[in-house]
Structure 1
């Protein structure tokens, strides 16, 4: 049971907004034809590569599918972006030996669509992918960690998979990145030390995933009975407005401790 003292109004259907989610998957295959054949066979026809599309016929899902040659900076990026996910030296060693890179791009903006593209990424991992990088978040996972999330999947896992909770700027403002993959506003916390701000982002983020509230400007959020109250306002000046991968078309909430 979530320890909130104020329950924000329950969800209604939000405005329809779409954004792209981009997955990057390095792997080892004999050649381009081997990629398509292996994806089809390992996934028993559930997914198939047709031209520049990855298709899930039964679910009527279509994703842009690009194949690139080996990228010499791939292992370095996984090491940097995999620090919060516990990527191992063994995993990095495998990624260092990749010979192809697959990019999957799909329209998202809801929990279901994020789950579906997560499954599409898993299909490539099962077919020879070595790890997965969420390019619209800046987060990287080893193969087995991503697949483990999807074995006993619950919606709360999407927060761990698609959101980073601890970016900090030169003014010590802490903020999230990647909530747009789920169809939600990102979260910014002012005036708190790093760990407290990260904890607040986590609680507020999970609250949105679990309870699916409708949140309004100038409401208050209190994460526990003994906790401070935080005023919720909309941050107009997003940090990533000029970056098409990280820009959040849904917006950004700002939480600031409310002084009585």
Structure 2
């Protein structure tokens, strides 16, 4: 898959493909689906939509991606899905992320039961996604970007959907500090679009610890992986 595309999966219990088409027309509140295209009515917003039959491994993927947040009832529903709809759209800006988020909301209203962002491996329940306000940048950020840990560093995943680099911090800091600094740094570059240079420093506030910035290529995911960030990585080193 093209790393410059956003890909989102929505499983559901539709009876057949005709049922999917009719449900989208009836309940998505503004979208139509034909062939492999879902389109917003009275708009030039068009996305690819692929339908996949039941996947017995999907429940494992959602269980992992939900990080223990999904109740057993929802896990059971996902296990019993009949189809999964994969929406594919352009990435690279807040506006593109907002548009595909609204499509996903339409699919949930049309019978979807959960959401998985393939570019970052994060999953959301129906209720959490429906309550998300796509006009709020902070809510888009929290819905699309996640954080993980390797042996050497903590890292973010998902900023490529906004057309921006991800970031890392060495594991010499605590998980709490890493999450605090990474989330604030990434939200800063998302909302302010600053011009940053190697060797400059960042701190959340004047009283907080300073971190030295170093920009590198994304070298912990292969280029053909959806997690790969073609916009690079900011490494934050504690001073």
* TM over 0.5, shorter chain: yes
Q: Deviations over 1:218-250 (max 9, x none)?
A: 221011222111111102352113343111111
Which of 104, 110, 116 does residue 133 from structure 1 map onto? Answer: 116
Cα pair 1:25 1:102 within 8 Å, conserved:
yes
SS in 2 for 1:247: coil
Aligned counterpart, 2:28: 43
Contact 1:156–1:209, Cα closer than 8 Å, also in 2: no
Match among 145, 161, 170 for residue 128 of structure 2: 145
Does 2:163 match 1:178? no
In structure 2, the CA distance between the partners of 1:155 and 1:128, relative to structure 1 (3 Å rule), is same
Q: Distance in 2 between matches of 1:215 and 1:91?
A: 43
For 1:162, the equivalent position in structure 2 comes to 144
Aligned-residue offset at 1:88: 1.8
- Aligned match for 1:82, one of 66, 74, 88: 66
CA–CA distance in structure 2, aligned partners of residues 237 and 23 of structure 1: 22
**Residue in structure 2 matched with residue 19 of structure 1 by the alignment:** 4
Q: Is the 8 A contact 2:4 2:92 kept in 1?
A: yes
- Give the length in aligned residue pairs: 236
Tell me the SS of whatever aligns to 1:246.
coil
Deviation (angstroms), 1:115: 0.7
Of the candidates 91, 107, 122, which is equivalent to residue 124 of structure 1? Answer: 107
Contact 1:79-1:87 within 8 A present in 2 as well: yes
Q: TM-score normalised to the size of structure 1?
A: 0.86
1:248 aligns with 2:229: yes
Matched, 1:209 2:190: yes
Partner of residue 204, structure 2? 223
Equivalent residue in structure 2 for 1:73, among 42, 52, 57 = 57
Matched, 1:101 2:101: no
Q: Distance in 2 between matches of 1:99 and 1:29?
A: 6
* Structure 2 gap ranges (5+): none
State the distance in 1 between where 2:137 and 2:193 align.
11
Contact 1:241/1:248 (<8 A) preserved: no
Of 244-253 and 132-141, the range deviating more from structure 2: 244-253
Structure 1 unpaired stretches of 5+: 1-17
Superposition RMSD on alpha carbons, in Å?
A: 1.7
Is the 2:218–2:228 Cα contact (8 Å) retained in structure 1?
Answer: no
Q: Distance in 1 between matches of 2:222 and 2:141?
A: 22
